[in-house]
Amino acid sequence: MRYAMAIDTKKCVGCSDCVVACQTENEVPIGYCRDWIVEVTDGTYPELELEIRSERCNHCDNSPCVRCCPTGASHYSDGGSVLVTHNKCIGCGACVSSCPYDARYSHPKGYVDKCTFCNHRVKKGQQPACVSVCPTRCMYFGDLEDPNSEVSKIMKLRKYKTLAPEAGTKPQVFYLI
Amino acid sequence: MKEEIIVSGRMNLNIDPVLHIWHWQIPLYLFLGGLAAGIMFFAALYTIQGKEKQYQTAVKWSMFLVPIFIVLGLLMLLLDLKHKLYFWQLYTVIRLQSPMSWGAWTLMIVTPIALLWCLMYIRDLLDLWKGKFKLTNGLIEFAYKKLDRYKWIDTFIAFLYKYRKVMAWLMIFYAVILGIYTGILLSAFNARPLWNTSILGPLFMVSGFSTAAALIMWMSKDYNEKKAFGRIDLILIATEVFFIIHMFMGFLASTEVQIEAARLFLGGEFTAVFWVFVVGIGLVIPALLESLKLYGFKIPVFLPAFMILLGGLMFRFIMVEAGQVTRYLY
Amino acid sequence: MKTNRRDFIKISSAGVAVAAITPPLVKWASASAKSNSEISEDGLRRTPTYCEVCFWKCAGWVYTDENNNIKKIIGHEDDPHCNGRLCPRGTGGVGMYSDEDRLKKPMIRTNVRGKQEFKEVSWDEALDYVAEKMQKIKRKYGPECVALFNHGTGGKQFSHMLNAYGSANVSAPSYGQCRGPREVGFVGTFGESIGSPEPCDIRDTKCLVLIGSHLGENMHNGPVQEMAEAIDRGASIITVDPRFSTAASKSKFWLPIKPATDNALLLAWIHVLIYEGWFDKEFVEKYTYGFEDLKKHVKNMTPEWAYGITTIKPDVIRKTAKEMFNASPSVIIHPGRHATWYGDDTQRSRLMAMLNALLGSWGQRGGFYKPEKVKVPSFPHPDYPKPTKSWRDAFPDKYKLAGLALSNAMCEATIPTVERECSFRAWIVYGTNLIKTLPDRKTTLKAIQSLDLIVVIDTMPAEITGYADVIFPECTYLERYDFVRASQHRDPYLALRMPAVPPKYDSKPGWWIAKELGLKLGLEEYFKYESIEEVLDWQLKEAGSSLEEMKKLGVKKYDRKYDDLFFTEGLPEMIFNTPTGKIELYSNQFAAAGYDPLPNYTKHMEPPQGFYRLIYGRAPMHTFGRTANNENLTDLMDENSCWINPRVANEWGLKNDQYIWLKNQDDVVSTFPIKVRVTERIRWDSIYMVHGFGHNNKKMTRAHGKGASDSELITRVIVDPIMGGTGMRGNFVTFLVNDPKKEVVS
């Protein structure tokens, strides 16, 4: 089982609903966020292109954060998603420094926090909060190893890319372009 | 024009606008770690070579500082932790792929070795300080009493002394690991392009040894020892300069993010501090002063020593801070 | 009787120390909140509601824990407005409830030692004060001299009260300041207005044409969802916008039009469609009137002519026209929503309606569907007294085609003049921050100063509360009942709003305030119920449901009763509600009222040297200024920025994230500075900023001083003579790099 997420940049309007939903679902403290929206504008008026991406932890296959965690608090869990065991985390910040996507942050309670692919929801058969709230339905989540999952099906139909592939982390969040 | 911005108001504390998850505690720890590693290295080296009598400061007196440095360093690390109550989790696992785990365990092994080494020479220290300072007289009396009372300590010390060469080999091995680890710790974070260079390990090790040599030189009362360490420092500084030049050459020949990282030091915000404090005051000028000494000029010993120590400290501060500024995205 | 000069007073914190721990004493709310609760899997209580953060009113479920903390709000899966997914503001509605800056207790303006302050009073005292003043006005001037400005679901309670009191002068700023022109434009063509939500079948369309509409940034939940669906199906989008909006970035054709020249483009399109034969001949033949007049009218309005005006190349105009025709009849020239731009907006809406008629999209799948809504009868009450005066009497020959009341006109009719025999003496303002809503702030403030009474009912302090005489704190939509939502859509639906938690502090629901005020005014006959639950239950039972059922369902779907969603077989016989019974390309209604029956292009003022046109818009994470203090939403965006083209930025030496002040053509300077965003997405003759920031009220701790207010810079208002809409895009600004307050005035 390999959980992955595919986000359709052609449909995303950058409304940030995913950010608010994540905040209310996961009780992320105000001032912090687990996901964010990036807008990339390229060109000169009026020859312009705009790409909007909803970014978060990529739950990488070769994640540097799991590798450099001294206590094993950062670990691989169901479907390869990367989770943090709060009472094993000492707050050393090694994982924060090692993430090329700057996806982690230091929670005020002391441990390091980030997107968990809403593990508590996925275990119950639901979708992550961001995926289930997105008004344009541009986010797909599921098991890449299951050919019938939404993610597998959409990725067969479209071109996609990942962020900073040169960092060698093998991220599992794919952007449909 | 390419415009790439975050529009959902992300401003995570210590992450945005630039990463600043490690503050002054970590560079200070790295400095103390390098210093401790260097001292242990030289103590072990000269013990193995049988030159304890010649290099008393290196072998004996400077080693007494090592436990203090290590404890201070560990304290810095503890202060830096954001989930302090769980620090003990570090010692429940050994994670070979995590340099931080290495560091935690290395320190765990090195501390008792250093303490045993200090115990080995405790009588020498007590003899040296007997009657010297009013403040310590009481303690010294107490220590003598305990030593006389518990005869097994002396037996133990003799035992240690007999096998001091074994201890020295262990110590030299772990000193090198400790020295190199301070650099590898940073270079394991490939997400920070400035640190993503394998030369950082050797560079930090050499820098640590050079600061240790400077400290020993400063502390020493023996002319020959001073001279020897002055020369050692010269060699180490030359190596350091070579490594630094190599590092920048590596960056400039590497990927875009590394070139950008190098630019921080070649016209960017860290240019002045780095070249003036680290290279100028920390390396070049002390080297010049040492060379002048070789030619017979009288230079007060504290000057180059202090500059090297300052340079070493600044080097670590700058590397930790600048490294966090460099990034892959946005 | 001359009233004291009314100052803008910031609600002082001294009096507003009501403990948040004040237990809710109103048992009706708490009783119902507990009795019909469903417990969801995570142990949370679930109650239905429909959102009030914007006008879209998406139905949703509110999840509350046992300590009455609202944990999250999720969209109702059966509601066609949201299809189970709320927008960021709906999801962030929890912030509205938990906002500690909320209005907490009724307040009355007093003059203490020469200084004007608010003092906290009991509900009785505040209601008595208002009732007494209103009776005085009724006796002296007549009840029609009390006006209600309303923007929110609870407003209906107040308009009921006001009608019973004897005045029908109720206006919503959303008409004259927003969608008014398109309603009149479409009524003049099709004989019916567009309404809310717009009956556009975006999800099945093949071509969506947006004239200035920035779907995706304005986050109209339903249309944005449908637009995404349309993109999935390969529909093409044509966006006409001087700015590279999000919708423009997803368009097959983006027409970077010169601002204020849209009518020329639309006329050129009509020319191309007619003269190339690219129109639905059967539809036009059967349903329209005035085709030959139109054809003659646009004879010289060629794409080449339009090119000189709009800077859109002629071949692009032709290509896009062909694209529209190829998709016909599944094509939508979207009516947009905020249409009050340059004062000729009704005519522009007419052109858009005419284009839809030529392409035959009315009543077609992928075009405009026939919406239907549930008829919910009003709770029985005696007939309202017939008012003898209306706001229209103040404007005898103006705005003849305005279908609803105009807030700007009512504002103007408040300032006493010699020509008018009477003017408004009291305002009741419900849920709208008139200071920022009405452009031409000077007139608004002058009007407020001449009032005998101004009552503000709102949930949050805002600029308007600073000018109020009496403030009634309303509880948020999460803590109250309101009338059921019976809006138009593909199928008729009903949605219930019920409180999830009891009202916080000493706030009360709108229906309670309106009823208590009504009782104090002696209007018991119109309020013959104890609580609103009685009313809702009666209404729902009349509509074939019940309060009990709706509390469980949240949303109920009804079957269509009147006609089909689309024309199913060919084009049936139809009579449109126009003078000729046909779709009037040549509008007899307009001609009869003395306005141009066929729209023309008029040149509008251009920015003087060194000035740039002020273009404003929306951000998906905020609803105008209403959410500027919501902590969940300020976390996303807490200030607006001024979009400046890099060429302009270069000229002025402006850098990203620098703060500047804006000065408009009438020398009005923005109170607060605004951050610069250097971006290629805006034209070099304009600047763009999101509306709703730059709040001046210190009581809004998160919103005060953040960003700049575009509404204070909109001083030049171009009023549409046809229906009175206030065109706001005729303002130009220049940049001030240094703090104007620090500059020495010589």
The residue among A129 and B140 whose pLDDT is bigger is A129
Determine the average pLDDT of the residues in C622-647.
94
pLDDT for B128: 85
pLDDT for C325: 96
Band of pLDDT at residue C419, cut at 50, 70 and 90: confident
Determine the average pLDDT of the residues in C163-189.
94
Band of pLDDT at residue C742, cut at 50, 70 and 90: confident
pLDDT for C34: 45
Residue B18 structure tokens: 């630039």
Band of pLDDT at residue C744, cut at 50, 70 and 90: low
Distance in angstroms (rounded) separating the CA atoms of residues C461 and C463: 7
pLDDT for C10: 67
pLDDT for B222: 87
- Output phi, psi for B45, to 5 deg: -60, -50
pLDDT one-digit tens code per residue, C73-115: 999 999 999 999 999 999 999 999 999 999 999 999 987 666 7
Peptide bond into A29 cis (omega under 30): no
The number of C-beta contacts closer than 8 angstroms across B and C is: 15
Band of pLDDT at residue A143, cut at 50, 70 and 90: very high
pLDDT for C26: 38
Q: Which of B2, B6, B7 to mutate to test the interface with C (most CBs of C within 10 A)?
A: B7
Entry field: residues in chain A: 177
CB of C631 within 8 Å of a chain B CB? The answer is no
From the DSSP assignment, how many helices (H) and strands (E) are in chain C?
25, 27
- Asked whether residue C697 carries a pLDDT value surpassing 70, the answer given is yes
Distance in angstroms (rounded) separating the CA atoms of residues B222 and B40: 19
- How far out from the chain centre does Cα C511 lie? 22
Determine the average pLDDT of the residues in A93-106.
94
pLDDT for C743: 62
Answer positive or negative: Cα dihedral of C397, C400, C402, C403. positive
Question: B5 contacts in C (CB within 8 Å)?
Answer: 677
Chain C: partners with 3+ C-beta pairs within 8 Å: A, B
Q: What's the burial of C442, exposed, middle or buried (CB within 10 Å: 0-12/13-18/19+)?
A: exposed
pLDDT for B51: 87
pLDDT one-digit tens code per residue, C287-331: 999 999 999 999 999 999 999 999 999 999 999 999 999 999 999
Q: How far is A29 from chain C (nearest CA, A)?
A: 10
Q: How far is B323 from chain C (nearest CA, A)?
A: 24
Q: Are strands C288-289 and C583-584 parallel, antiparallel or unpaired?
A: parallel
Distance in angstroms (rounded) separating the CA atoms of residues C225 and A137: 8
Q: Are strands C718-719 and C726-727 parallel, antiparallel or unpaired?
A: antiparallel
Contacts of C628 (CB under 8 A, 6+ apart): C622, C634, C692, C693, C695, C700, C702, C703, C706
* Residues C251 and C263 sit within 8 Å (Cβ to Cβ): no
Q: Strand pairing partners for A39?
A: A52, B5
CB of A85 within 8 Å of a chain B CB? The answer is no
Nearest to A71 among B12, B84, B93 (CB): B93
- How far out from the chain centre does Cα C707 lie? 21
pLDDT one-digit tens code per residue, A156-171: 999 999 999 988 999 9
Using 70 as the pLDDT threshold, list the residues of chain B that sit under it: none
CB of A97 within 8 Å of a chain C CB? The answer is no
- How far out from the chain centre does Cα A162 lie? 11
Question: C219 contacts in A (CB within 8 Å)?
Answer: 13, 15, 135
pLDDT for C745: 53
Q: Which of C249, C250, C251 to mutate to test the interface with A (most CBs of A within 10 A)?
A: C249
C704 DSSP assignment: B
pLDDT for C114: 66
pTM higher than 0.90 = yes
Chain B: partners with 3+ C-beta pairs within 8 Å: A, C
Entry field: residues in chain C: 746
Answer positive or negative: Cα dihedral of C705, C710, C716, C718. negative
Peptide bond into C143 cis (omega under 30): no
Question: A41 contacts in C (CB within 8 Å)?
Answer: 244, 679-681
- Asked whether residue C634 carries a pLDDT value surpassing 60, the answer given is yes
- Asked whether residue C36 carries a pLDDT value surpassing 80, the answer given is no
pLDDT for C11: 62
Structure-token match 């005519």, residue found? C347
CB of B108 within 8 Å of a chain A CB? The answer is no
Distance in angstroms (rounded) separating the CA atoms of residues C159 and B171: 88
Band of pLDDT at residue C474, cut at 50, 70 and 90: very high
Fill in the amino acid letter for C589: Q
Coil, helix or strand at residue B59: helix
Distance in angstroms (rounded) separating the CA atoms of residues A21 and B115: 55
> Which run of H or of E encompasses A173?
strand A173-176
Q: Strand pairing partners for C475?
A: none
Structure-token match 């030359």, residue found? B238
- Asked whether residue C348 carries a pLDDT value surpassing 80, the answer given is yes
Q: Are strands C453-458 and C253-255 parallel, antiparallel or unpaired?
A: unpaired
Distance in angstroms (rounded) separating the CA atoms of residues C554 and C552: 6
Distance in angstroms (rounded) separating the CA atoms of residues B112 and B119: 10
* Residues A57 and A104 sit within 8 Å (Cβ to Cβ): yes
Contacts of C534 (CB under 8 A, 6+ apart): none
Q: How far is B99 from chain C (nearest CA, A)?
A: 36
Round the average pLDDT of chain B to a whole number and report it. Answer: 91
Residue C352 structure tokens: 């858009």
Q: How far is B191 from chain A (nearest CA, A)?
A: 4
| Yes or no, beta carbons of C637 and B8 under 8 Å apart | yes
Q: Report CA-CA distances (Å) from C628 to B123, C151, C466, C522, C634.
A: 73, 17, 17, 38, 6
Helix axis angle, C510-520 relative to C532-542, nearest 10°? 110
- Asked whether residue C41 carries a pLDDT value surpassing 70, the answer given is no
ipTM, two decimals: 0.94
Band of pLDDT at residue C5, cut at 50, 70 and 90: low
